[in-house]
A and B are shown apart, each in its own frame.
Chain A
């Protein structure tokens, strides 16, 4: 009996020893792991930049930059990702198929044939080659300004035109002017990469810089105007003396550059004159009517609408312009603050180079400043966009009604002056409608401004219908 008790006790004791042994081993292992973790976090805090390869103005391939800046490169590579938002995103869905009213609104123009939502930065060059606007219509080298890593090409062409390497800015400008006028497929041979690091960063210092010639010309002209620009303090400061030209790379603050590097391309533009020089119409100011006045003065049209015979101008993604009218711009928030928000990788603060809709990244894009839940913030943004979309839909109908009326009036041999006046109203109304449609925020960049522009478009369409009423007074030779 006693022996049996002893044996049971011994078994329990052995099990206890094993348990204590395992517990102690586990505790030690956990402690070591914790120590390791703390050590790793401390290492993170000491992380800095390692220069692995030398970079210069000829380093076009982002993968080479990526060896020095692996964190930025990782996120840059994600611009291949395709994701829809409520009204946009980065999937190349057909806008004409989504809303066939645009086919009539663009009648006679390349955009009436093929018009898709833009994909991410990574696709800017390859998508340009496949669009029917390029395969079926003659385009020019000016397009490459914003669809390729084009600087070395401009330099090369400028050098061949006789501008020496010592005058680099002049060399690039000359190359730009020559490439603009080339047939697209010839100019395409000069470039190989979509957007690259060089386009926004100095290879020596990685500091932000503006390199695009059309932007350098555009911002110079904008600064030289009297249009108030409190949201860009370096321009206002330069205006106090107006000495020389406004040099964006020398004068703009880092925060302003976080907008200006994007404004190199996300703007309204046209190809000026026979040389097809890419030009940003900012000479009178940044608002919709300022660019319109510039085009009217230059007597510029993109095409003549097949049905109404009106000479129309197609706006192109005026993101910088519309955003500059909005509350975020007025509050000193840059493009990069929302579209490339800071992210923490270890202890390092990195700009997210996966440039995309903030609606896909609400936490980092919005919550850094707005203390509300992600759902609330997303709903707020989408409410603005939904309202803009519904107002835009009414504007489309209003412009279509005007087109119908012009066609009917022409058939009824209506007085020419009235027809001309109605066509001018079509030009004004379409310019405003497509200004908001082509702009890539569905009104969010400046909601009230977007509503103003669409309301004006509806009003111009109405005025155009007025001059075509049977009892309308005869219009004068010059339309209002």
Chain B
């Protein structure tokens, strides 16, 4: 075999080659970290995924004993029910949660943000529409809405 047959790679390509190798290594490492962190599981609706990290273990344990356990999982209450909204909320909360858990710089006890409260409230109304329709169909701003869980605190995560 002559040197001619390798003419498509010359010393000139050394640097791009190293870069390619580095990029490949980074991608591989990234994919492995993603796998190690069970990244794909976050696309699912399994409540077990929500306690992959142990911050919400109390909430999860409470839910197991709460009245909604038989009817609703985490995502039923905590995510919007349209496809776009669901994955957008997953992405946004996922980012916040990962950042908080990595840097360990969050307020404890954890407190739900207004945006997620709104999602929750919408889901209470969605399932219980027949019951609460008469109560909630009057005019008024969203901020007048007291929120079902203000009083029904134990339904989701137990007493």
Contacts and interface: CB of A to CB of B under 8 A. Distances in A.
B55 interface: yes
What 3 A-B pairs are tightest by C-beta distance, nearest first? A347-B54, A24-B22, A35-B33
Contacts of B57: 347, 349
Interface stretch (B1-9, B42-50, B85-93, B101-109): B101-109
Contacts of A363: 107-109
B78 to A, nearest CB: 16
10 contacts: A35-B36, A37-B102, A38-B37, A41-B101, A44-B54, A45-B54, A347-B57, A349-B57, A368-B109, A371-B150
B26 A31 contact: yes
A35 B107 CA distance: 24
Q: Which label, helix, strand, loop or mixed, suits the secondary structure of the A interface?
A: helix
B25 interface: yes
B19 interface: yes
A39 interface: yes
A31 B33 CA distance: 8
A344 B36 contact: no
A31 B123 CA distance: 37
B152 to A, nearest CB: 12
B94 interface: no
A371 B111 contact: yes
Given A24-B22, A45-B54, A344-B55, A367 B37 contact: no
Contact of B58 (A39, A41, A349): A349
Contact of B53 (A35, A39, A41): A41
B33 A38 contact: yes
Interface string B110-138: 01000000000000000000000000000
Contacts of A295: none
B100 to A, nearest CB: 12
B108 A28 contact: no
- Quick one: which of A27, A38, A346, A367 has the most chain B CB within 10 A? A38
B108 A39 contact: no
Given A28-B26, A34-B102, A37-B102, A344 B150 contact: no
A367 B19 CA distance: 51
Contact of A24 (B19, B33, B55, B150): B19
Contact of A27 (B15, B26, B53): B26
Interface in A369-403: 371
B29 interface: yes
B36 A17 contact: no
B109 A367 contact: yes
A368 to B, nearest CB: 5
Interface of A: 17, 20-21, 24, 27-28, 31-32, 34-35, 37-39, 41, 44-45, 343-344, 346-347, 349, 363-364, 367-368, 371
Contacts of B108: 343-344, 363-364
A44 B52 CA distance: 12
Interface residues of B, number: 25
B23 interface: yes
Contacts of A371: 111, 150, 153
Contacts of B33: 31, 34-35, 38
A45 B57 CA distance: 10
A371 B37 CA distance: 32
A364 B107 CA distance: 10
B148 to A, nearest CB: 13
Contacts of B29: 28, 31-32, 35
Contacts of B107: 363
B58 A20 contact: no
A20 B25 contact: no
Contacts of A38: 33, 36-37
B86 to A, nearest CB: 25
Contacts of A39: 36
Nearest to A44: B54
A24 B109 contact: no
Nearest to A342: B58
Nearest to B21: A24
Contacts of A31: 26, 29-30, 33
Contacts of B102: 34, 37
Contacts of B150: 371
A367 B33 CA distance: 35
A37 B32 CA distance: 14
Nearest to A14: B15
A2 B57 CA distance: 68
A157 B153 CA distance: 53
A20 B37 contact: no
Contacts of B36: 35, 38-39
Contact of B19 (A20, A28, A35, A368): A20
Contacts of B22: 21, 24, 28
